[in-house]
Amino acid sequence: MRASRKCWLICTLTLLLASPAEAYIGPGIGAGAIALVLGVLTAIGMAFVAILWYPLKRLLKLDNKVSSGRKGNNTDADLDATSPETKTSSDAN
């Protein structure tokens, strides 16, 4: 426990005795930092959409088609408009 107190004392004294930096950070650096943070957040969001949302959306659409097909609302000919059964005589030419 004694070493822990000694460490806290050294850290506290170091922070209290630190001199301020004589540096100027201009508005360009601030705007760049904001743009960097927004860019990283946007990249993370787009990765989420690309990796998780689109496959999930596709899965939900397939589930909808399967469930509506079970109810008898759609037939195979309705789902496939280019099937030979749905072509008329004018389409044959």
At residue 86, does pLDDT exceed 70?
A: no
Q: What span, in angstroms and rounded, lies between the C-alpha atoms of 27 and 73?
A: 62
- CA dist 60 → 7, 44, 57, 63, 66 (Å): 57, 23, 5, 5, 10
pLDDT at 28 (0 to 100): 92
Give the tens place of pLDDT for each residue, 58-80: 888 877 777 776 555 555 555 55
Q: For residue 45, what pLDDT band results from cuts at 50, 70 and 90?
A: very high
What is the reported pTM? 0.41
Rounded to 5 degrees, what angle do the CA atoms 36, 42, 45 make? 145
